[in-house]
Amino acid sequence: MYKIALITGDGIGPELSEAAMSVLNTISDNFDIKFNVTKLLAGDSALKETGKALPDETIASIKKSDACLKAPVGESAADVIVVLRRMLDLYANIRPAKSYPHMPSLRNDIDMVIVRENTEDLYAGNEFSLGNSAVALRIISESASKKIAKYAFETAIQRNLMRKVTCVHKSNVMRITDGLFVKSCIDVSKNYPGITFEQMYVDACAMNLIRQPEKFDVIVTTNLFGDILSDESSQVVGGLGMAPAANIGDNFALFEPVHGAAFDIAGKNIANPSSFLLSIKMMLDWLGKKHNDKQCFVVSKKLESTIFDLVKTGVKTKDIGGNKSTSEFTKEITIRL
């Protein structure tokens, strides 16, 4: 029995959480994996109800769970996810971008993953006012840089595709901070002679994600660049509605869609739940690895293929060219599972 903490979030979060609950229940009912899910409050709704975007009970519940699923939260996102990433030392943010057939993607030959450092950089929120100026501290450490570089190289080995790591930075301008990040990646690369290592400036990377995205395998980069580039890479393969992410530490992991709360489509039952359901797939892979549980890998593959087979047959939500509602699409998935 896996204890799952589910943050239901804001905007389209509750609709996506309902879809996630249906799928988790279907898995529990039909496979040899059981989930005990606790729904938790965090984000704008929590702030309104309790005065805290990340209530103490939510933190306590997450700490007691085997893994956390987090639907998107709204304006208070920084007070939720940024805090959780640092509190739980979820140092690696993994954002895959893969082309699947029958998606409105720009290309159909892409299979890359962005490995984003998740605890430092400008996202640490070290900001203050100084007279009439505003200051943000960009702290990059050798230890965090080496840790994420190692994760990226191990990912390239596990994927066993191009066996290539691209370090993305802007060290020609941010010589000291990004200089340290690149140096750390170069140092780590020496332990992986079987993996091709290359460097790219972040502006060139943004261009190449459009021009020749098929050339990327594993991108390793700092926090802010990783956030921006992963929105771009997800659009190249069909949009945010299909983009899952994992926040991984040595002992715990949290899974969430790449996108935000999408208030423009909230409450309309039109959001694509795939981003969150593919986050469950990533969670199954992580649980399978951690607990040496082969069933998790079986169900992970089944869930992924079910989603993409469905899309292939034209059963899609609006964002990817279909006409199914969130609940209709989810129902089809549970039936096929």
Among 152, 227, 222, which residue's Cα sits nearest to residue 192?
152
CA distance 121 to 205: 19
Q: Which of 3, 111, 150, 231 is catalytic?
A: 231
Residues 287, 96: Cα–Cα separation, whole Å? 18
DSSP 286-323: HHHHHHT-HHHHHHHHHHHHHHHHHHHTT--BGGGT--
Q: How far is the CB of 158 from ligand ATP (least distance, A)?
A: 27
Amino acid at 154: E
Catalytic residue among 178, 227, 285, 319: 227
Give the three-state DSSP class for 135. strand
**4 or 77, CB closer to ligand ATP?**
77
User: Which residue shows structure tokens 């469905």?
Assistant: 310
Read off the DSSP letter of residue 126.
-
Which of 213/260 has CB closer to ligand ATP? 260
Tokens representing 115? 């490995």
Residue of this chain nearest to ligand ATP (CB atom): 260
Task: Give min distance, CB of 117 to ligand ATP, in A.
Answer: 18
Given 70, 147, 170, 316, the catalytic residue: 170
The minimum distance between CB 99 and ligand ATP, in angstroms, equals 18
Q: Which is nearer to ligand ATP, 147 or 324 (CB)?
A: 324
Catalytic residue at 29?
no
Distance in Å, CB of 15 to ligand ATP, minimum: 9
Chain residues in the site for ligand ATP (CB under 6 A): 12, 77, 240-241, 259-262, 264-265, 271-272, 275, 319
- Residues 91, 100, 123, 192: which is the catalytic one? 123
Q: Which is nearer to ligand ATP, 197 or 308 (CB)?
A: 308
| Minimum CB distance to ligand ATP, residue 104 (Å) | 12
Can you tell me the distance from the alpha carbon of 22 to that of 18, in angstroms, rounded to the nearest whole number? 6
227 is catalytic: yes
Q: Spot the catalytic one: 29, 32, 187, 203.
A: 203
* Residue 170 annotated as catalytic: yes
178 belongs to the catalytic site: no
What is the dihedral sign for C-alpha 89, 300, 65, 291? negative
C-beta of 109 vs 264, nearer to ligand ATP: 264
In angstroms, give the least distance from the CB of 78 to ligand ATP: 10
Q: Which residue has the tokens 């991108």?
A: 219
Q: SS3 helix, strand, coil % of the chain, rounded to 5? A: 50, 20, 30
Identify whether the C-beta of residue 95 lies closer than 8 Å to the C-beta of residue 110.
no
Q: How far apart are CA 153 and CA 166, in angstroms?
A: 10
Nearer to ligand ATP, 306 or 317 (CB): 317
Is 281 catalytic? The answer is no
Active-site residues, by number, are 123, 170, 203, 227, 231
